[in-house]
Structure 1
Amino acid sequence: MADRDRRWAKEELLTYAYILLYIALSSGQIFFNKWVLSSKEINFPYPLGLTLLHMIFSSVLCFMLTKVLKIFKVDEGMTLDVYITSVIPIGAMFAMTLWLGNTAYLYISVAFAQMLKAIMPVAVFILGVLAGLEVMSCRMLLIMSVISFGVLVASYGEMEISWIGVVYQMGGVVGEALRLIFMEILVKRKGLKLNPISLMYYVSPCSALCLLIPWIFLEKPKMDEQGTWSFKPLVLTLNSLCTFALNLSVFLVISHTSALTIRVAGVVKDWVVVLFSALLFADTKLTLINLFGYAIAIAGVAAYNNHKLRKEAYRVSPEEPAQSVPLVAASTSTNETRI
């Protein structure tokens, strides 16, 4: 009995440690990206280049961990048809999300960017209805209205709005919504389920290629104009490593808990980012209207997550392996470099 209680306590402690690790890495990665892109000390205002480095690093590390060291196993079932029709669109949308989302940090504060991201469920739902994956209902219409109203109030409370930054952030939101729709199609219509490590293995190279092409035309000429590239290997390697660690933490949390836990942790992380960014960055000035509007939006997001998880509960079989989770269940409302 004592041994069983001890094991249970150990598992419980380990679970909380994974959740805290996810929250710390997820919020820390956002702050790290903002610092790298905006800091005069680093002087690397190239969101495309930074995201490209993340994807190349992730691709190489995934290959090493799965094929060379064989620490993780890549889920089977991937075919050329599925890769072309599903993985490539997911990779392209993921690249678009990260590119535009990171670019927004050059124009707007981290806190305001996070508030705008709360509109994500609205974009996902609208696109889901258009794709035939969602059904319009009075309840969902009410939830979408609450989220939209909250984001509008939060935006109204923003003291300095850069509309260029807003456009970039909204573009990132649309890209993320499309990515989630493609992932849901992959699960529902293709019947393929991958754990986050397997998904990283397949998607990262595709995203890297999608980022490489615009980088060559948009950012490489600017970097060449400087004569010598402003490139700090240690900082950028640590930044990329944190990105990979974040993806790994998602895998650990989902493997040891559930999709509900990762979504709740995501909401906690959102508040951590908003509040701590006011302490860390000079361009973040929170107002009561900001926080009030964001609280309304987060309440709507919580209602949306609850609604989605109830629907997913009916679809998931009890015999299904815990580590082979649906791709949509593995996704939260965060848009930092994470698959």
Structure 2
Amino acid sequence: MFAMTLWLGNTAYLYISVSFAQMLKAIMPVAVFILGVAAGLEMMSCRMLLIMSVISFGVLVASYGEIDINWVGVVYQMGGVVGEALRLIFMEILVKRKGLKLNPISVMYYVSPCSALCLLVPWIFLEKPKMDEQRSWSFQPLILTLNSLCTFALNLSVFLVIQHTSALTIRVAGVVKDWVVVLLSALLFADTKLTLINLFGYAIAIAGVAAYNNHKLKNGTPQASSDKSEPTQSVPLIQSSDSNK
């Protein structure tokens, strides 16, 4: 599932803008909740149903306001969202039902090699020939190294923030980070054009995500407080998903 998330999520950037991809990722809590209900990890309630409806409506409005929408990219991004949601569900099952307690670095020891193997075979047949044709091998090591360093730094920073503050801090920072990604992508990339409908829909979705985070934190206050002293709980595993890009 981690390999699926990386492949589909990164492929989406070939067809849609960074800001629009970030807006579509706001649907993540909906996918996680629905799959969690199916797996018996979440309980359906009227409040949660309302929150999921608000997030879905916001993403729908943001998509409607997209000027150059590419449905191929949307399908790739939604596939990446489903893959990430399944990964989080499986991780939660391992943590809560199987009793595993691993921090993000330990998780990467196990997940990264498996993900690399899953990505190696399709890479040989689909991407390696294109790289050979473009003769871009000399530039790839530097880009991949910098990307890997950023990913490692993100995982480590998330772990340290949760360890020294709380799960609430990292969740609030995550919402702020989403807005920063959207706004910076609009400034840095010339082909990114944001409309008022885009921003309005994304604001609705983010409000729903904030309500979802608040609801989850209220229901899991004892566990959230223990995460501050015991960073090996499930929260760091879920939050480390932001590093995929």
TM-fit CA distance, 1:325? 2.4
Residue 231 of structure 1 is matched in structure 2 by 138
Matches within 5 A, 1:261-280: 261-280=169-188
Q: Does 1:287 align with 2:181?
A: no
Match of 2:14 in 1: 106
Q: Return closer, same or farther for 1:192/1:334 CA change in 2, 3 Å cut-off.
A: closer
Whether 1:119 aligns to 2:27 is yes
Q: Is the 8 A contact 2:163 2:227 kept in 1?
A: no
> Which deviates the most, 303-312 or 152-161?
303-312
- How big is each residue's C-alpha offset from its partner over 1:119-162, in whole Å with a ceiling of 9 and x where there is no partner? 00110011011111111111110000000000001111111101
1:23-102 correspondence runs (5 A):
93-102=1-10
Q: 2:104·2:236 contact (CA, 8 Å) conserved in 1?
A: no
Within 2, Cα distance between the matches of 1:237 and 1:245? 12
CA contact (8 A) 1:104 1:166 kept: yes
Q: What is residue 161 of structure 1 aligned with on the other side?
A: 69
Q: CA deviation at 1:336?
A: 4.0
Q: How many residues align?
A: 244
Structure ranking higher on relative contact order (CA contacts 8 Å, 6+ apart): 2
Q: Deviations over 1:255-287 (max 9, x none)?
A: 111111111111000000011111000121011
Which amino acid in 2 is paired with 1:307? H
Distance 1:223 1:110 in 2: 23
Describe the SS at the equivalent of 1:260. helix
* Cα displacement (A) at 1:311: 2.4
Shift of 1:183: 1.0
Of 17, 37, 43 in structure 2, the residue corresponding to residue 135 of structure 1 is 43
Q: For 1:158, give the aligned amino acid.
A: E
Unaligned runs of 5+ in 2: none
In the TM superposition, what is the alpha-carbon distance from 1:337 to its structure 2 partner?
2.0
Corresponding residue of 2:125: 217
The residue number in structure 2 matching 1:201 is: 109
Residue from 325, 328, 331 that aligns with 2:238: 331
| Residue number in structure 2 paired with 1:33 | none
CA–CA separation in structure 1 for the residues paired with 2:46 and 2:69:
33
Query: Residues 75-105 of structure 1: CA distance to partner in whole angstroms, max 9, x if unpaired?
Result: xxxxxxxxxxxxxxxxxx1111111111111
C-alpha deviation, 1:322, in angstroms: 2.6
Q: Deviations over 1:154-210 (max 9, x none)?
A: 111111101111011000000010011011101111111211111112211111111
**Counterpart selection for 1:258 from 162, 166, 186:** 166
- Check whether the contact 1:143–1:300 (CA below 8 A) recurs between aligned residues: yes
Shift of residue 230, structure 1, vs aligned partner: 3.2
2:217 counterpart (309, 314, 331): 309
SS of the residue aligned with 1:106? coil
* Structure with max Cα Rg: 1
Q: CA deviation at 1:310?
A: 2.0
Q: How does 1:164-183 map to 2 (within 5 A)?
A: 164-183=72-91
TM-score, with structure 1 as normaliser: 0.68
Structure 1 residue 332, shift from structure 2 partner: 3.7
Structure 1 gap ranges (5+) = 1-92
Distance in 1 of aligned mates of 2:133 and 2:227: 58
Structure 2 counterpart SS, 1:119: helix
One-letter code of the match for 2:106? S
Structure 2 residue matching 1:331: 3-state secondary structure: helix
Cα deviations across residues 205-236 of structure 1 (Å, max 9, x unaligned)? 1111111122122212323344x343313333
The whole-number CA distance in structure 1 between the counterparts of 2:227 and 2:177 is 31
Is the partner of 1:107 in helix, strand or coil?
Answer: coil
Q: CA–CA distance in 2 between the matches of 1:333 and 1:293?
A: 26
TM-score, normalised relative to structure 2: 0.93
